[in-house]
Amino acid sequence: MWRFGVAVYAVLQGIGLLWWLAFYPGMLSLDTVSSIRHVTTGPWDSRHSVLYDLLIGASLKLTGDLGALTLAQTAGLAAALAWLCVALARLGVPRWATAGAALLLALLPSSGSFAVTMWKDIPYTICLILVTATVAELLARRRTRRPYTDPPGGDPSASTGTGPDGDADTLQAADTAEGADPTKDAGTREDADPTKDAGSVSGREHAGPAVPDHRAGAPTGSPTGAEGPEDRGSRVGGRGERVLVAALGAELLALTLFRNNGFVTVVPLVALLVILLPGVRLRVLAAGVAALVVWAAVFLAGYRAAGIERGPSAHTFGTVLHDIAVVYAERPGSFRAEDLALMERVAPLEVWRRGGSTCFTINRLLFAKRFDWDAESRVHGRVLGLWADLLRREPGRIAGVQACRGSIAWWPVDRDPAAAGASYKYPKAAPRLEPRDAAHTHLVSTRPLSADLHRIGTAALPWSAEHSVLWRGALWAYLGYLSVIVLAVRRRAPALLALAAAVAAQQLSVLVLIPAQDARYMMPCLILGVVLSPAAFALKSSPCGSSTCDDVARR
């Protein structure tokens, strides 16, 4: 299996290297300029991911350029996708299908160039892929012996693996090696008695011998009923499973650090995993809570101790300001004189009206020349009060604005091309600089290392932008859901639904927090949706080679 993973990684890394050569040092945006300013001339605030700012600073300090960071991003994305392909293969998903899906993603302009974009969203996406791969590994490693029943007639080969009431009562996961003997890879469910291997025939309990496991640390089924160290290890899944849960905690923490609002993704993600993953619920919950506690400590106290200022309130609450602008543009008569006076302290009413002329993006408001970010910070509390008042008076309209702005999360096609320009679909190669950033011109200028590849890439990106299916993630998210549901139904294993937990959590957070129709926000759903799509073609039975070895823990 490791050879398969290495092969997938090598191919994906090779294609990523071509994108890197075409757009060296990487695809850039105004966020890139802001992050460079943070770690060079200052001042440094937390409007963007501080962790990603640190990575930009490290690249500049070590190499004097940004190319090292984007090259590392291509390696990280290739490695994460390779591991996900391997983990899905362990669950019986055809290798050729997952590898083909990953190859398609590397070649498509929208997702291929994403790896060399200077945005915090790339490592954030890598973390969501790693979470999904970790979940797949947990599902593949969870296994127990299945009690069996000899049916009338005494034919052991027709054993049903059900309890006296006819319900399947064990959970099992697929082995990684094809043709493995399920009797050599058995564990016990957390609430099972490892000393018993009994079925039921006509109401009589039929005791059977414990199946020996020749792996180190596997349960041996003590005849005395005493639980030895190996038995205790099996109940928590062994050291490998503990390592995976620890890795999951680290991935969840990284999600919160690579996006300041990443906790909005982590909370529903942990909730879904706790619901869907039997046997590891408490440990997954502990990992998620630990990640959130560490993030809160860093965000509330750590940044301040390091001299990093709090980001401007308009950046954090941009969607609130946009709600006010849209309602004002549609119903200016519903605003009182004191409301209008407050709004004029931040920007002229014409700026508010123009910014609210579309419900798809906040950018027309926040980045208008006469919008005063400093003034908004001074009256921020009162602005929040105005928004709360509008929410009480017109909750339906505020919800409608949110659904419109978050349409990229749930609507498969581009609803308003005029409001979602080219810069929303993919970043510009050379962002426009302000005079204060003139010193960084050489850093944020695209300097392709291959003129031919650059010419091909610059022609492919506009073509990709014209086909919304190639950059909007909602359609691919739905396809991923459908494939995982098909797999779970065919295997009669609800725990397999956890494979789509990261997609669902990201889609929900984008719907709630999206400021504009940027493709990057749904790129995790697009990538994961494509790679999960082959799950519908997974083996119906376990790849262990036995009808008594299921692919996931079954409740």
Among 27, 26, 7, 16, smallest CA distance to 423 is for: 27
Reduce the DSSP state of residue 196 to 3 states and report it.
coil
How sure is the predictor about 109, in pLDDT bands with cuts at 50, 70 and 90? very high
Among 270, 268, 266, 267, smallest CA distance to 255 is for: 266
My answer on whether 329 and 475 are in the same domain is: no
My answer on whether 248 and 350 are in the same domain is: no
My answer on whether 319 and 359 are in the same domain is: yes
546 against 333, higher pLDDT: 333
Q: What does the pLDDT look like over 192-226, one tens digit per residue?
A: 443 444 334 444 444 444 444 444 334 444 344 44
Of 109-118, 286-295, 441-450, which range is least confident?
Answer: 441-450
Q: What is the percentage of the chain residues whose pLDDT exceeds 90?
A: 62
My answer on whether 10 and 50 are in the same domain is: yes
Q: What does the pLDDT look like over 6-34, one tens digit per residue?
A: 999 999 999 999 999 999 999 888 888 88
Q: What does the pLDDT look like over 81-90, one tens digit per residue?
A: 999 999 999 9
Q: What angle do CA 239, 245, 251 make, to 5 degrees?
A: 135
Please check whether residue 195 lies inside any domain of the structure: no
My answer on whether 136 and 5 are in the same domain is: yes
How sure is the predictor about 474, in pLDDT bands with cuts at 50, 70 and 90? very high
How many residues would you count in the chain? 555
Which pLDDT score is estimated for 41?
A: 87
23 against 471, higher pLDDT: 23
Which pLDDT score is estimated for 541?
A: 60
For the cut 70, the answer to whether the pLDDT of residue 419 exceeds it is no
Of 363, 378, 409, the domain-final residue: 409
* Omega before 25 within 30 of 0, i.e. cis: yes
My answer on whether 247 and 129 are in the same domain is: yes
Cα–Cα distance, 5 to 8 (Å, whole number): 5
Split into its structural domains, the chain has a count of 2
Structure tokens at 545: 């080679």
What is the average per-residue pLDDT within 347-374? 93
Instruction: Scan for tokens 């390592």, then name that residue.
Output: 243
My answer on whether 374 and 461 are in the same domain is: no
For the cut 70, the answer to whether the pLDDT of residue 466 exceeds it is yes
Domain housing 319: 313-409
Reduce the DSSP state of residue 519 to 3 states and report it.
helix
Q: What does the pLDDT look like over 139-186, one tens digit per residue?
A: 998 743 333 344 444 444 444 443 333 333 333 433 333 334 434 444
Which pLDDT score is estimated for 465?
A: 79
Most confident of 12-26, 31-45, 442-456: 12-26
One-letter identity of residue 64: G
Cα–Cα distance, 150 to 107 (Å, whole number): 53
Reduce the DSSP state of residue 171 to 3 states and report it.
coil
Sequence-distant contacts of 354-357: CB under 8 A, at least 24 apart = 354/329, 355/322, 355/325, 355/329, 356/322, 356/324, 356/325, 356/326, 356/327, 356/328, 356/329, 356/330, 357/329
My answer on whether 114 and 248 are in the same domain is: yes
Please check whether residue 376 lies inside any domain of the structure: yes
Containing 199, the helix (H) or strand (E) segment is strand 199-201
Containing 206, the helix (H) or strand (E) segment is strand 204-206
Which pLDDT score is estimated for 148?
A: 35
116 against 150, higher pLDDT: 116
Which pLDDT score is estimated for 428?
A: 55
Which pLDDT score is estimated for 201?
A: 40
Q: What does the pLDDT look like over 379-415, one tens digit per residue?
A: 999 999 999 999 999 999 999 999 999 999 999 887 7
Please check whether residue 324 lies inside any domain of the structure: yes
Please check whether residue 77 lies inside any domain of the structure: yes
pTM reported for the whole predicted model: 0.81
My answer on whether 362 and 433 are in the same domain is: no
Of 101-115, 181-195, 328-342, 496-510, which range is least confident?
Answer: 181-195
Please check whether residue 214 lies inside any domain of the structure: no
Cα–Cα distance, 430 to 440 (Å, whole number): 12
Please check whether residue 505 lies inside any domain of the structure: no
Most confident of 69-83, 232-246, 400-414, 506-520: 69-83
Cα–Cα distance, 155 to 381 (Å, whole number): 75
What is the average per-residue pLDDT within 433-445? 76
Which pLDDT score is estimated for 204?
A: 41
Angle between helices 318-330 and 395-405 (to 10 degrees): 120
195 against 40, higher pLDDT: 40
For the cut 60, the answer to whether the pLDDT of residue 235 exceeds it is no
For the cut 50, the answer to whether the pLDDT of residue 456 exceeds it is yes
Containing 68, the helix (H) or strand (E) segment is helix 67-90
Q: What does the pLDDT look like over 336-348, one tens digit per residue?
A: 999 999 999 999 9
The answer to whether 129 and 163 have CB atoms below 8 angstroms apart is no
Which pLDDT score is estimated for 432?
A: 67
How sure is the predictor about 233, in pLDDT bands with cuts at 50, 70 and 90? very low
For the cut 60, the answer to whether the pLDDT of residue 542 exceeds it is no
Name the average pLDDT for the chain: 82
Which pLDDT score is estimated for 174?
A: 37
Distances (CA, A) of 269 to 14, 126, 156, 489: 32, 15, 42, 22
How sure is the predictor about 420, in pLDDT bands with cuts at 50, 70 and 90? low
Longest alpha-carbon distance in the chain: 88
Please check whether residue 293 lies inside any domain of the structure: no
Q: What angle do CA 175, 177, 180 make, to 5 degrees?
A: 75
The answer to whether 249 and 291 have CB atoms below 8 angstroms apart is yes
Which pLDDT score is estimated for 427?
A: 60
My answer on whether 140 and 6 are in the same domain is: yes
Please check whether residue 333 lies inside any domain of the structure: yes
Report the DSSP beta bridge partners of residue 45: 309
For the cut 60, the answer to whether the pLDDT of residue 433 exceeds it is yes
Of 409, 440, 469, the domain-final residue: 409
My answer on whether 38 and 134 are in the same domain is: yes
Cα–Cα distance, 193 to 210 (Å, whole number): 11
81 against 239, higher pLDDT: 81
Q: What is the percentage of the chain residues whose pLDDT exceeds 70?
A: 77
Of 379, 409, 439, the domain-final residue: 409
My answer on whether 390 and 438 are in the same domain is: no
